[in-house]
Structure 1
Amino acid sequence: MTKIEFLKENLINPSTGKGCKSFEENEVIFECGGKSDVLNNIPIIIDESTSIFKSKDILEKAPTTQNSNYRKDNFKNTFRKKILPSLSKDFSFKKRYTELAKQFENKRILVIGAGDKIDFYNEIFKNALVITSDVHLQFSPDLVFDAHQIPFQNASFDLIIASQVLEHTFKPWIVANELQRVVKINGFLLVEVPFNFPYHSPPYDFFRFTFTGLRSLFHKCSLHNYEASEGSASAVATFNSQFLIDLFKNRYLRMIVLFISRLLFGWLKYIDLLKSRKNYFSMISPMGFNMVFTRDEKERTNEELLNEFYKLKV
């Protein structure tokens, strides 16, 4: 099944729940008579009555949670990304995604907030049907929608990935319910969030999550796995750098301080390799962590959700 065939079969109007009637060059028409715009084969399905995003802005490729100008291949970005040491590192990133790719071969995968990693997701999950999505057209995803109103039928996907997304959602508890609705029973949800990280992508940055806070959102899922993907040493390096940069307002001074702070603090992240990423202490002050949930449709009480904390390996 191609991506277009999958979309025709599984898309719904988020405001009515009705399925897709036809997928035309310039619009998607739903069974209820509703329509959504299509630009360059990318459907833009937004219910503006409840979303903070507007179809007009998306069609005009207005930056929202990301701006492609900051990802261009110019000297500044190349120097910052390829030459200067990074302040943080997700040391288990490659292993995590490689294992998921093996587990979900020939399955259906939805990526929420794919951003500038679309090529990565398509390559790592090359043996699966991958639908990439975002709330903008900056990097040409397969589909544009608001995660508060995911336009797919119930149980459409075997795996859903939401990496660095929930902090940018206005009401993450609604997004979590949508993720649980759209993933299949026994399907997986990979959710990656920051805990200690500066305000970013303003004004679309709303929340930070603790272990128990994130766990509480997915009450119809068992917790399959968790880890501090970026530890407290990465957090210290990042905030030390940000503190020094924010001492200055001048753009060029800030750039100079960024250069100096990367050299001063870039080594700190390697301290995270000395600590376990899966115990109580690793979850006290990480820069960011991830959880893998399995939807089992068992409704959990608040007490049961809180008890997950006491299962942490000390």
Structure 2
Amino acid sequence: MGVIPNSLKFVKQHIKKRLDQESFHPELIGILTNPFYFARRGLSKNIERLSSEIQGKVLDVGCGTQPYRQFFSQCKYHGLELDTPENRSSKVADSFYDGKVLPFAENSFDSLIVNQVLEHIFEPDRFLDEAHRVLKPGGHLLLTVPFLWDEHEQPFDYARYSSFGIVYLLEKHQYSIIESHKSVCGIQAIVQIWNAYLYKVTFRNSRLWNLIVALLLMAPGNILGILLSWILPQNSDIYLDNIILAKAEQKTHLSHENAAET
């Protein structure tokens, strides 16, 4: 009598696990089920591509649920999150901090990961100085930040960065750019923003409902975006995210903001 219920439970768990995987690393199934297919696929593929540049002791600032940790199995990984009651219950972090001072000594890490975090930081100059402080000279910074995206996690949403703006900001804080890449360009970026709109206006606290809506409303958009990207000319001026690999230069001085505080 217990065989069928156990089998159904196994199937349900397998489906949930697969959908969770498709959430941040979408492949074929994600075309049908993931409202953020283009954005998440672009991030996943680019982070995986650059993961070999991240070595040694690694700090992932704003690690969330650590969806990309699998790409850094060669590293000694430490996830850090902002210390809030919500983050304490929903995030998967090794430690928490006040959002101002990184709780580590100077030159503590060989590499830093800052994924979709900088847009939420209201004092980016101070943050980048702090990141540089805990990063060893010559250490690598892997940073992603949106250029085109809706306002989210309100009121903790500060900025969007163009490819020129983020490079300027990093160089200002003693990082040299190894690679600057635009993720999800042209018609796919436009389709992704449309799907993000549909997701926001239809979202309910029901996984089944959201899946049905994705199948009915977002999947056609994903398919159309893929097809049109083969037909229409590319336009890299319209894109979702900046993907940056940078190197910390030798420390020479603090920015004037931090210097005034010491």
Q: TM-score, normalised by structure 1?
A: 0.58
1:116 match: secondary structure: coil
Residue-by-residue CA offset, 1:74-124 (whole Å, 9 max, x unaligned) = 97x9499455254414347346435433x444x111001111125x41x33
* SS of match in other structure, 1:240: helix
| In structure 2, distance between residues paired with 1:95 and 1:198 | 21
Does the 8 Å contact 2:66/2:92 carry over to 1? no
2:62 matched residue in structure 1: 113
Report % sequence identity. 21
Q: 1:203 to 1:124 in 2, by over 3 A?
A: same
Contact map agreement 1:231 1:272 (CA 8 A) in 2: no
Contact persistence 1:192–1:290 (CA under 8 A):
yes
Please, which of 281, 284, 288 is the counterpart of residue 241 of structure 2?
A: 288
Contact preservation (8 Å) 1:226, 1:290: yes
Contact 1:228/1:290 (8 A) holds in 2: yes
Query: Aligned residue for 1:88?
Result: 38
3-state SS, counterpart of residue 38 of structure 2: coil
Contact kept, 8 Å, 2:80 with 2:93, in 1: the verdict is yes
| Equivalent in the alignment of 2:219 | 263
Equivalent pair of 2:163/2:182 in contact (CA under 8 Å): no
Q: 1:227-266: per-residue Cα shift (whole Å, max 9, x none)?
A: 11232333211222344566779999x9576553313311
Task: Note the alpha carbon deviations across 1:45-78, whole angstroms, 9 max, x for none.
Answer: xxxxxxxxxxxxxxxxxxxxxxxxxxx9997x94
Output the CA distance in 1 between the equivalents of 2:109 and 2:240.
29
Work out which of the residue numbers 126, 140, 157 in structure 1 matches 2:92: 140
Does the CA contact (< 8 Å) of 1:234 and 1:287 recur in 2? no
* 1:181 has 2:137 as partner: no
Does the C-alpha gap of structure 1 residues 268 and 157 become closer, same or farther in structure 2, counting only changes over 3 Å?
A: farther
Cα distance in 1 between the residues matched to 2:183 and 2:120: 19
Residue in structure 2 matched with residue 100 of structure 1 by the alignment? 51
Q: 1:212 to 1:124 in 2, by over 3 A?
A: same
Tell me how far 1:170 sits from its aligned partner: 2.0
| Higher normalized helix content (fraction of residues) | 2
Aligned AA for 1:132? G
Separation of aligned partners in 1, 2:180 and 2:59: 20
Task: Tell me, yes or no, if the aligned pair for 2:182 and 2:239 is still in contact at 8 Å.
Answer: yes
Equivalent residues in 2 for 1:148-297 (5 A)?
148-218=100-170, 219=172, 220-244=174-198, 259-270=215-226, 282=236, 284-297=237-250
Quick one: distance in 1 between partners of 2:248 and 2:232? 30
| Bigger Cα displacement from structure 2, 218-227 vs 267-276 | 267-276
Seen in structure 2, the aligned counterparts of structure 1 residues 197 and 104 have a Cα distance that, compared at 3 Å, is closer
**Tell me, which stretches of 5 or more residues in structure 1 are unaligned?**
1-71, 300-314
* 1:233 counterpart letter in structure 2: I
Aligned 8 A contact 1:163 1:191 in 2: yes
- How far the C-alpha of 1:187 sits from its partner, in A, is 0.7
The question of whether the paired residues in 2 share the 8 Å contact of 1:147 and 1:178 is answered with: no
Q: Distance in 2 between matches of 1:73 and 1:166?
A: 35
Say which SS state the counterpart of residue 229 (structure 1) adopts.
strand
2:183 is aligned with what amino acid? S
Aligned residues: 218
2:26 is matched with none
Counterpart-to-counterpart distance in 2, 1:98 and 1:248: 34
What is the DSSP-based 3-state SS (H/G/I as helix, E as strand, rest coil) of the residue aligned with 2:96? Answer: strand
Q: TM-score, normalised by structure 2?
A: 0.68
RMSD (CA atoms): 3.6
